[in-house]
């Protein structure tokens, strides 16, 4: 935890919060806080600043907060991702928040197993939990926006074109395609498929929608590695 994030529910007075849950345990057991200590704080979806520990009691820490700084800017990136298996999804959600992706669209694909859509990891509360873990790592406060699309063809035909307006649109897919560009300075939409890539029909539909199909080379990467590698390459 590189920043303590709080919400409206934690406020007990103007400029003062009380932390009582797992965050309190981290403050006491890991950071070993005591009265008068300072730490970095931020309001979820709000500003950043410094907090001063006023009191540490059994199960609660009272903190004075002064928020003076805007959060870091998000990447000019809309990420469209075929739903990965649940264990990997948890890690990717944290990574997406950590890297500063503004919008994440989870979509279906032929190689996405139906059971993935029923995972508890897609529970709204769980998703926010994973996003917050990424924000705490990166010292950010603004949650990514998540959109879920359970049907591939309606998404690509009806929704993807509007998301692509005024963006460079790339779809990463293994094979003999142009090399993924580097350091692009423009709004971007990036599509990443499941393990092993999209099936040919899906690649064709993405091309018809206007996506440039690009490759990282001959190696087949895990989805989580593809996400970090391509985002790092682009930005």
Yes or no: say if 47 and 67 are a contact pair by the CB < 8 Å rule: yes
**What's the predicted TM-score (pTM) here?**
0.93
Residue 106: C-alpha distances to residues 44, 74, 126, 146 (Å): 23, 19, 15, 8
The DSSP 8-state label assigned to residue 10 in this structure reads G
Neighbours of 96 (CB within 10 A): 25
Contact between residue 71 and residue 142 where contact means Cβ atoms under 8 Å apart: yes
Contacts of 226 (CB under 8 A, 6+ apart): 172, 192, 216
Is-contact 183 235, C-beta < 8 A?
A: yes
Per-residue pLDDT tens, the chain, 235 aa: give them: 899 999 999 999 999 999 999 999 999 999 999 999 999 999 999 999 999 999 999 899 999 999 999 999 999 999 999 999 999 999 999 999 999 999 999 999 999 999 999 999 999 999 999 999 999 999 999 999 999 999 999 999 999 999 999 999 999 998 889 999 999 989 999 999 998 889 999 999 999 999 999 998 878 889 999 999 999 999 9
Q: Which three-class secondary structure state does DSSP give residue 125?
A: helix
Residue-range domains of the chain with CATH: 4-69 (2.40.240.20), 77-234 (3.40.1280.10)
Q: How far is CA 22 from the centre of its chain?
A: 21
Total Cβ atoms within 10 A of residue 172: 24
Residues 6+ apart with CB under 8 A from 44: 5, 6, 7, 132, 135, 141, 143
Estimate to the nearest angstrom the gap between the alpha carbon of 208 and the chain centroid.
Answer: 28
């Amino acid at each position: 935890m590189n920043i303590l994030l709080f919400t409206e529910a934690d406020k007990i007075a103007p400029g003062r919060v009380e932390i009582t849950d797992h965050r309190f345990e981290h403050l006491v057991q890991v950071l070993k806080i005591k009265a008068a200590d300072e730490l970095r704080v931020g309001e979820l979806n709000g500003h950043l600043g410094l907090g001063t520990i006023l009191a540490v009691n059994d199960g609660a820490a009272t903190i004075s907060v002064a928020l003076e700084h805007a959060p870091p800017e998000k990447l000019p990136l809309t990420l469209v991702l075929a739903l990965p298996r649940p264990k990997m999804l948890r890690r990717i959600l944290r990574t997406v928040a950590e890297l500063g992706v503004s919008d994440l669209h989870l979509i279906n694909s032929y190689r996405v197993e139906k059971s993935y859509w029923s995972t508890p990891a897609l529970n709204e509360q769980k998703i926010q939990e994973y996003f917050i873990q990424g924000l705490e790592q990166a010292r950010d406060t603004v949650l990514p926006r998540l959109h879920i699309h359970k049907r591939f063809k309606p998404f690509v035909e009806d929704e993807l074109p509007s998301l692509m307006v005024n963006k460079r649109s790339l779809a990463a897919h293994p094979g003999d395609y142009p090399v993924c560009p580097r350091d692009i300075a423009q709004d971007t939409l990036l599509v990443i498929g499941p393990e092993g890539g999209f099936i040919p029909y899906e690649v064709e539909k993405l091309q018809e929608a206007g996506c440039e199909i690009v490759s990282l080379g001959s190696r087949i990467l895990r989805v989580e590695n593809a996400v970090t590698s391509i985002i790092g390459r682009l930005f």
